[in-house]
Amino acid sequence: MSRQAIKDKQFRTIGYIETMNDGKQKALDPQFRTLGHFDPKRNVTQDPQFRTIANGNVLAGLIFKG
């Protein structure tokens, strides 16, 4: 598993994207609360309750919307 920090213009960490060993990804806020999930096999982004919210990977958008 790897974790990439997402930063704003002032270089403050505003969230993270974690990539699991199976390729799935998870967006986290700065307090490590889950904002959403991305399944590359299905090409679907889901909210924390696993309801589909978009086709494709929009995890970064969930972090910036936060």
Q: Which two tokens stand for residue 5?
A: 């920090």
Which residues, listed in sequence order, are joined to residue 38 by a DSSP beta bridge? Answer: 25, 45
Global model pTM greater than 0.85: yes
Instruction: State phi, psi for 60 to the nearest 5 degrees.
Output: -60, -35
3-state secondary structure of 63: helix
Over residues 47-64, the pLDDT tens digits come to 999 999 999 999 999 998
pLDDT of residue 43: 98
| pLDDT at 41 exceeding the cut of 70 | yes
- How confident is the model over 12-38, as a mean pLDDT? 97
pLDDT of residue 5: 97
Number of domains the chain is built from: 1
- Segments forming the whole domain that contains residue 47: 2-65
